[in-house]
Amino acid sequence: MVNTINSPTAVDINEGPTVSVMGDTYSVVIGGEQTNGSYSLIDMLIPPGGGPAPHSHPSYQEAFYILKGEINVITKEKRYTAKQGSYVNIPFNGPIHKFTNETNSVVRFLCFLTPAGMEKMFLEVGKPVTADTLLPIPQLTSETLKRLQSIAEKYGLKLYPLDYFD
């Protein structure tokens, strides 16, 4: 649904596209087309061992609200365990960070991105799946990493080596 007039927008469950991104499942609840580019909201499922590589995105603010389970949010300065009901905010020009599921259960959270746009990157790099479907976490080859870096840069994100925080 595209909101071209100044009126409320309502979306039904699973109305937006869902993709698997490196084993994580991202369902776009509402994207930039419906918010005139102001923000996007993504329902994220992160399996045990899942989560993105260290990254930064100076022109996006990213916030998480944990619905189920817990994730570890990691920066050079801090490691924070966000449990059900927790809220985490990564501000504009925020630090290099990553989040990871170090538990044995699937984590579900809402990811709020402002402005919108990052959801388009997820749709470009991801593989379409049905909602609540988790694919195995693939091995990251050098070719895959180069492809991901190229697409990420197009959307204003920078990816760092997997061992960046070691």
Instruction: Write the pLDDT tens digit of every residue in 41-95.
Output: 999 999 999 999 999 999 999 999 999 999 999 999 999 999 999 999 999 999 9
Residue 137 identity: I
Give residue 61's pLDDT: 97
Residue 4 has pLDDT above 60, yes or no: no
Burial class (CB in 10 A: 0-12, 13-18, 19+), 93: exposed
Give residue 108's pLDDT: 98
Residue 164 has pLDDT above 60, yes or no: yes
Residue 38 has pLDDT above 90, yes or no: yes
Average pLDDT, the chain: 93
Contact 91, 68 (CB under 8 A): no
Instruction: Write the pLDDT tens digit of every residue in 112-162.
Output: 999 999 999 999 999 999 999 999 999 888 888 889 999 999 999 999 998
Give residue 162's pLDDT: 87
Give residue 1's pLDDT: 52
Contact 118, 12 (CB under 8 A): no
Reported as a pLDDT band with limits 50, 70 and 90, residue 5 is low
Q: What percent of the chain has pLDDT over 70?
A: 96
Q: What is the pTM of this model?
A: 0.92
Give residue 153's pLDDT: 95
